[in-house]
Structure 1
Amino acid sequence: MHDELFATQDQWAGAATAGDNFKALAGELGLDQAGFDACLDGGKYAEQVQADFEEGSNDGVSGTPAFRINGTELSGAQPFEAFQKQVEYFLAGGEPPTLEVAADSYRSMGEADAPVVVTEFSDYQCPACAQVEETLIPELIERYVDTGQVRFVFRQYPLTQIHPYAPQAAQAAVCAGEQDNYWEMHEKLFAGQGEWAEAAEVPLDTFEGYAEELGLEGAAFEQCLSSDEAALVVQGDVMAGESLGINATPTFLVNYLPNRGGQTIGVLGQVIEYLATGEPTPQIVPTDGSWRVQGNVETARAAMLAFVDYASPESAEHALNVLPQLREQYIDAGNLIYVLHPWLESADGPGAQAAVAAECAADQDKAWEMHDLLFENQEEWTAAGDLEATFAGYAESLDLDGDLFEECVASSALLVRVQGGTVVGAMIGVPEAPVYVFSNGQSLTSTSPLEDFQAMLDSMIGQ
């Protein structure tokens, strides 16, 4: 019956007479017709089916087909090779992959009780990963790991289709870790990527040479490299990453919040600092009545996330010349939800201070007035020596309570609030500002004219 139901799916799916189709199948299979009909019509197994559905929902299943292999998720119409890989992993003794990596693991760096855990899924043959290793990771370690604020975890995620030697490189790191030289091998693999990544065949000799340079016990390293032990560790990391939907490297998780693509320490640091406060994950579309959401959520047929930098001339161009037209044509007409997310290049830059000023004006119901003033006078305040005094002058021109405004601007809590926009941007892969992301998954950039926004929105609203 299972096979027949799938074979004839196009005949009964969505049909009002599906029950008759099932009864006909029972007859063709030679079942007791009366017994089958009574079972189906009486809903004998309805509760069991509902229980299966609820069990799947509780386990995070949101679509079909979805599989669990020794408790490990595999979703979608996967090829046989995907099942084969996981089954063979467990048959070889692999442990169910987990998101946690113990603080005493050789792949973990930093204090066990650090308030934030940064996990990097990376590929030793990936050029972007090597660049991040050279530029971002040293600053991450100096600013946050060495000061006890972050525990850093590295997980292997070789993209074998484009980087054929990455799995063996990852295994070399694991084997070095077995001899307490994981991070030393890690550094050599990235530093020597240009040497071994272009080799004509798997560069095991190069990896063994690195082991010798590190003073590792050669026979033990080679035995580890040729065994299944290291390969299972690497595959476990890959399966953990796949369960999170990771499909590119490098990908960072900050307390399991995804931060996609290569980033600057200015952006990644803000995500770290935001989460270290214990604040909840910021909402992509705030539902708390935030001033930064414009439009009617009941009638809108499109949503637009605007990631803007108050110090960016391109953001000013959008705010002064494009946004008023969008407000008139789409927002006020009830067709568009416009969500403003301040994006900060750094937590101590002029754009961050301006975003705080806008939030403080919001506390006195003058958010958009301050928003407009900041963009209208961008050239003035970005060149000013005393931003606090300049912004206090703008507050006075808006008849705000000066003492309350100045007290608000000085509050560290307001910086955390505006950093939420950068956190949202990091979650969905926004690399800079301004960027405008639409609810159809497409985006426009800083140089997009009004006509591009109109074409995008007209297409979405007309669907």
Structure 2
Amino acid sequence: MNRRRFLTLSGVGVVGAVAGCSSEADSAESVDNHPAAADLDAQPRRGELGGHVILAFEDPSCPTCRRFHEETLPDIRENIVDTGKGAYAVRTYPVIYPWGEPATQALESTFARDSEAYWALFEHYFAEQSSFDPDNVLDRTAMFLTEETAVDGEAVARDAQEQAHNDAVQADIQAAEDAGLGETTPIILLFEDGEFVTKVNGSVSYDLIAEALGERDG
């Protein structure tokens, strides 16, 4: 990232934290060696690696993550992912409300079966966020998956209850801890053509992300 754009980003508060949900490791690193991006190729993502990377640590129970999905993600998909300029990747990080923990287990169990069902479930958690609690989340998850996807919802719920894919859950948590990311979600790491640029927190606008990735130059 050039110095002029760095100063611009600093002036509008992109470098550092922005308000998010709450309950830090910036240096000149690439996506290949940044601890937050460990085993990135195995993570759920939209788009292909090799260009820009928007790596988001998100909690399905986090209201600020929901706003990020509603207000910013559509522009990321339209302008970065769908144009072939980069990828949006997710690591689940359940640090806000208790129901986020079983939901994260269910997400990993779903992803192990069907990536499209994973994305559908992730969006369902945000769309119906106020309806979930620790007692009903797995029942509601099973019902949604069975009715709306090709995945066996009851099997996912059983796996989530038994933490059958806990290794994947813990890998995401460990990546956040190794990178010193804190617990203000969403935590979004931006890599311009694979080079780490900055970390931002909260429901940041697409314009700020585009600026950080050099997509506003000229």
Does TM, normalized by the shorter one, top 0.5?
A: yes
CA distance in 1, matches of 2:159, 2:45: 20
> 2:68 is matched with which residue?
132
Deviation of 1:98 (Å): 6.2
Distance change (3 Å), C-alpha of 1:106 and 1:269: same
Letter matched to residue 129 of structure 2: Q
The one of 142, 154, 158 aligned to 1:208: 142
Matched, 1:166 2:100: yes
- The 2-side partners of 1:208 and 1:192 are apart by 14
* CA shift in 2, pair 1:217/1:201, >3 Å: closer
Matching residue within 259, 265, 268 for 2:200: 259
Contact persistence 2:144–2:153 (CA under 8 A): no
Q: Tell me whether 1:116 sits opposite 2:34 in the alignment.
A: no
Q: CA RMSD in A?
A: 2.1
Partner of 1:48: none
Aligned length: 175
Q: Of residues 74, 77, 98 in structure 2, which corresponds to 1:141?
A: 77
| Residues 167, 234 of structure 1: 8 Å contact kept | no
The alignment status of 1:222 with 2:163, answered yes or no, reads no
Of structures 1 and 2, the larger Rg is shown by: 1
Letter in 1 for 2:174: M
The residue type equivalent to 2:169 in the other structure is: V
CA shift, 1:167, in A, is 1.1
Q: Hey, what does 1:28 align to over in structure 2?
A: none
Per mean C-alpha deviation after superposition, the further-off stretch among 167-176 and 201-210 is 201-210
- Over 3 Å counting, the alpha-carbon distance change for 1:268 and 1:188 in structure 2 is same
Q: Distance in 2 between matches of 1:156 and 1:200?
A: 17
Determine the C-alpha separation between the residues in 2 that align with 1:128 and 1:231.
25
How many Å apart are 1:222 and its aligned residue? 2.9
Is contact 1:250-1:262 (8 Å) kept? yes
- Given that 1:102 and 1:108 are in contact with CA atoms closer than 8 Å, whether structure 2 keeps it comes out as no
Report the Cα offset of residue 187 of structure 1: 1.1
* Equivalent residue number for residue 269 of structure 1: 210
Tell me how far apart the structure 2 counterparts of residues 205 and 167 of structure 1 sit (CA, whole Å): 14
Residue correspondence of structure 1 range 71-90 to structure 2 within 5 A: none
Distance 1:235 1:106, change over 3 A: closer
Is the CA contact (8 Å cut-off) linking 2:102 and 2:161 kept in structure 1?
Answer: no
Which residue does the alignment assign to 1:178?
112
State the distance in 2 between where 1:270 and 1:98 align.
21
Which whole-Å CA distance do the structure 2 matches of 1:149 and 1:158 have between them? 29
Letter of the aligned partner of 1:231 in structure 2? N
Other-structure match for 2:89: 153
Unaligned runs of 5+ in 2: 1-34
- Asked if structure 1 preserves the Cα contact closer than 8 Å seen for 2:105 and 2:165, the reply is yes
Distance 2:99 2:169 in 1: 13
Aligned equivalents of 1:262, 1:106: Cα separation in 2: 21
User: Secondary structure at the residue paired with 1:273?
Assistant: coil
In the TM superposition, what is the alpha-carbon distance from 1:202 to its structure 2 partner? 4.8
Please tell me whether residue 99 in structure 1 is matched to residue 34 in structure 2.
no
User: Is it true that 1:236 corresponds to 2:164 in the alignment?
Assistant: no
Tell me if structure 2 keeps the 8 A contact 1:251–1:262. no
Task: Supply the distance in 1 between the matched residues of 2:178 and 2:134 (Cα, whole angstroms).
Answer: 33
Segments ≥4 residues shifted beyond 6 Å: none
Question: Post-superposition shift, 1:112?
Answer: 3.0
CA–CA distance in structure 1, aligned partners of residues 136 and 173 of structure 2: 20
2:138, 2:157 within 8 Å by CA — same for their partners in 1?
Answer: no
Q: Aligned in 2, Cα 1:109/1:117: closer, same or farther, shift over 3 Å?
A: same
Deviation at 1:224, TM superposition (A): 1.8
Which whole-Å CA distance do the structure 2 matches of 1:209 and 1:165 have between them?
Answer: 16
Match of 2:10 in 1: none
Deviation at 1:173, TM superposition (A): 1.2
1:225 partner amino acid: A
Name structure 1 gaps, 5 residues minimum.
1-96, 275-346, 348-411, 416-463
State the one-letter code of the partner of 1:203.
V
Which is richer in helix? 1
